[in-house]
């Protein structure tokens, strides 16, 4: 397959900056345009200085897709605008790889319908860290044999939601493994939030990035699975994998774990 041409939305953000570094290291990927809230000449010349390319900035995503030959939109923005960009991309035949969090199940249902109608690939991945996704998979195996479990998720103090989407997803996948949670009844607030039968504890502290533990208890033994994202580079191999896989998809895929099956 030839070069995959990318429009990157949110390039000045923390994830956007990390994504630029990662994409410029990939020979088969090429950024052709930025989609941003503002046209920031400093940013454009900074990229030109570092990578030797001067790229157009579009505030209007639809205009970007009309003017530039774009295969894939990478969206790393905010929930409100991320949803708009994704819809515009699908309407214009551009495949979205979305790291932006905050899509509701209604948003996903709507997108799924459009993608199926258009036979278009679209990936929404709230967690690009392959280690975090593997933790979920290992937890699904462990819970079959050790159904007493609790989840602790730890994040930086700027995180806007609690519990994390990853913790909720982990609980959901553990429930789906078919051995119902056997925890003590949830009686006190200090036991955390009960979701899908598992108590989830949320810790918010400066110095943290994104961390999760699942602790399984059994007779005279415990098993702890833990994943740590120490910086945003941890999300990049998953992002690059999504961009490479999306050209062969014809539907909506929600969650990186659904792309790992054929790899593991």
Q: What residues line the site for ligand NAP (CB under 6 A)?
A: 9-10, 12-16, 35-37, 76-78, 81, 99-101, 125-129, 235
Dist CA 236 CA 241 (whole Å): 8
Give the residue with the Cβ less far from ligand NAP, 191 or 237. Answer: 237
Dist CA 66 CA 48 (whole Å): 24
Dist CA 239 CA 98 (whole Å): 9
The distance between the two most distant Cα atoms of the chain, rounded to a whole number of Å, is 64
- What is the CA angle 115-254-182, rounded to 5? 145
Give me the least distance between CB of 78 and ligand NAP, in Å please: 5
In the annotation, is 113 catalytic?
Answer: no
Give the residue with the Cβ less far from ligand NAP, 15 or 174. Answer: 15
Nearest position to ligand NAP, beta carbon: 13
Give me the least distance between CB of 50 and ligand NAP, in Å please: 17
Asked if residue 114 lies in contact with residue 240, where contact means CB atoms within 8 angstroms, the answer is no
In the annotation, is 159 catalytic?
Answer: yes
Residue with tokens 């994704």: 86
Dist CA 72 CA 97 (whole Å): 7
The catalytic position among 155, 169, 201, 227 is 155
Dist CA 119 CA 250 (whole Å): 5
Give me the least distance between CB of 25 and ligand NAP, in Å please: 18
What strands, in cross-sheet order, belong to the sheet with 210-218? 193-195, 198-204, 148-155, 210-218, 221-229
Dist CA 14 CA 217 (whole Å): 37
The catalytic position among 5, 118, 137, 159 is 159
Dist CA 107 CA 39 (whole Å): 28
Q: Name the DSSP class of 69.
A: -
Give the residue with the Cβ less far from ligand NAP, 96 or 126. Answer: 126
Question: 213 by DSSP, 3-state: which?
Answer: strand
Give me the least distance between CB of 34 and ligand NAP, in Å please: 9
Give the residue with the Cβ less far from ligand NAP, 20 or 120. Answer: 20
Give the residue with the Cβ less far from ligand NAP, 78 or 202. Answer: 78
Give me the least distance between CB of 128 and ligand NAP, in Å please: 4
- Active-site residues, by number, are 155, 159
């Amino acid at each position: 397959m030839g070069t995959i041409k990318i429009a990157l939305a949110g390039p000045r953000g923390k994830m956007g900056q990390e994504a630029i570094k990662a994409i410029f290291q990939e020979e088969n990927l090429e950024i052709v345009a930025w989609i941003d809230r503002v046209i920031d000449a400093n940013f454009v010349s900074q990229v030109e200085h570092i990578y030797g390319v001067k790229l157009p900035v579009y505030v209007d995503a639809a205009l970007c897709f009309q003017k530039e030959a774009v295969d894939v939109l990478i969206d790393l923005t905010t929930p409100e605008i991320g949803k708009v960009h994704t819809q515009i991309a699908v309407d214009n035949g551009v495949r979205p790889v979305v790291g932006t969090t905050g899509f509701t199940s209604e948003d996903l249902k709507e997108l799924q319908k459009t993608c199926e109608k258009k036979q278009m690939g679209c990936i929404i991945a709230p967690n690009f860290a392959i280690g975090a996704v593997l933790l979920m998979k290992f937890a699904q195996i462990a819970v079959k044999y050790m159904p007493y479990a609790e989840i602790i998720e730890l994040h930086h103090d700027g995180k806007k939601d609690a519990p994390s989407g990853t913790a909720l997803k982990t609980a959901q996948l553990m429930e789906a493994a078919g051995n119902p949670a056997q925890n003590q009844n949830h009686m006190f607030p200090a036991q955390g939030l009960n979701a899908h039968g598992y108590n989830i504890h949320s810790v918010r502290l400066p110095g943290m990035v994104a961390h999760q533990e699942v602790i399984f208890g059994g007779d005279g033994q415990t098993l702890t699975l833990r994943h740590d994202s120490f910086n945003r580079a941890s999300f990049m191999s998953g992002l690059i994998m999504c961009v490479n896989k999306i050209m062969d998809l014809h539907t909506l895929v929600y969650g990186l774990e659904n792309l790992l099956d054929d790899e593991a």
